[in-house]
Amino acid sequence: QPRFFTGIQASGALTLGNYLGLIRNILEIQEEYEVIIMICDLHSLTIPKPNFNYREIGHEIASLLYACGLKEENCKIFIQSEIKEHVELAYLLSPHITVSALSNMIQYKEKKREQESGNLALLTYPVLMAADIFLYDADLVIVGQDQTQHLELTTNIAQKFNNFYGQKLLKIPQFTIPHLGAKIMDLKNPQKKMSKSENDFLALLDNPQVVAKKIKEAETDSENRIYYDPTKKAGISNLLTIYALLSKQEIKEAEKELQNLNYHQFKLKLIDLLNENLGKIHKKYIDYQPRIKEILKKNTEYLKILATQKLNLIKKEIKFN
Ligand code: TYM
């Protein structure tokens, strides 16, 4: 069976952006692929948070992912720092990428600004991300639009590394960015992507009252007509995208369905749809919580074997063993 790989940071609660941009797409391919999902606590350290419980959040994210409908038998979720081979491979790759290529990464520049100055982990982050992917010989990787540049760099590193050792040691997977929902925007500030590092994202664990409040307060415009135009009508277009994805329609169909509603009526309809979807996830989440540690342990044992084998192969080529 071909293998799918992706990662999600352990920096906070899962958002509606993660769900619509990523998780929903994994649900669709899980019958065809062996699915590996990594909860990246090492990546989350790039913006250090005092008193942050990475393990607790990691367990919450893992339970939520299964609650979204990923199947336990075929979907191996694990926590990055549990498999130390990631860090080791990242180091072995790092001679094949220049500091200037890394300091030109958009995300590095953006996040550096937030922090006033960039730290070393933030700079080398894309190298660790490449290592994540190579360690499991992934055939397919799906990510949201914000990760495109990191994937280009990953390809680049593989080509240089493979050239240097004269071998196809690192596998370049097929990278897919979903066309619709690849970028769910912030509700209050729809010029920016919805992100768990901002304050007003919609969390998958938000209760119905909170969902209602956040959607009612979401930015719209004064036209009171529902159609898709992300430049002129960023807020409504974002809500329309969310609506279309949750009701499994194309944007055009959703526009047609909603054409006679005003913004208030549309928002009430969206709130119902969201709460119906999230309600199902919340129910399953409670079932997974008490079992999650045990499931992760089993997954880690299995993946550790794959990671060790791959790393040994690479080290052999470097003449390290
Ligand atoms: P992270 O944790 O920021 O986000 C996890 C995934 O969700 C997507 N995403 C979104 N999609 C649509 N709209 C949004 N508002 C939105 N916000 C987030 C992201 O694109 C991502 O696919 N560097 C990665 C994690 C990572 C990884 C990897 C991914 C580490 N190693 C190896 C793939 C392969 C990140 O920070 O994702």
Q: Per-residue pLDDT tens for 19-53?
A: 998 999 999 999 999 999 999 999 999 988 899 99
Q: Which domain holds residue 267?
A: 208-285
Catalytic residue selected from 76, 183, 196, 214? 196
pLDDT of 74 strictly over 80: yes
Q: Catalytic annotation on 111?
A: yes
240 assigned to some structural domain: yes
Number of domains composing the chain: 2
Among 71-75, 86-90, 94-98, 145-149, the minimum mean pLDDT is found in 145-149
Among candidates 13, 8, 19, 9, which has minimal Cα distance to 280?
19
Residue 7 Cα to ligand 1 midpoint, Å, equals: 6
Q: How far is CA 139 from CA 22, 72, 79, in A?
A: 17, 20, 20
pTM over 0.80: yes
**pLDDT tens per residue across span 130-173:** 999 999 999 999 998 889 999 999 999 999 999 999 889 999 99
Q: Does 38 reside within a domain?
A: yes
The protein residue with its alpha carbon nearest to ligand 1, atom 29, reads: 7
Nearest CA to ligand 1 atom 20: 144
pLDDT band at 199 (very low <50, low <70, confident <90, very high): low
Quote ipTM for the complex: 0.97
Q: How many CB atoms lie within 10 A of CB 152?
A: 13
Task: Give the model's pLDDT for residue 286.
Answer: 96
Return the CATH number at 95. 3.40.50.620
Reported as a single tens digit per residue, the pLDDT across 4-24 is 999 999 888 899 999 998 999
- Whether 178 and 225 map to the same domain: the answer is no
Q: Which atom of ligand 1 is nearest to the CA of 18?
A: 7
pLDDT at res. 61: 97
For residue 146, the CA-to-ligand 1 centroid distance in Å is 7
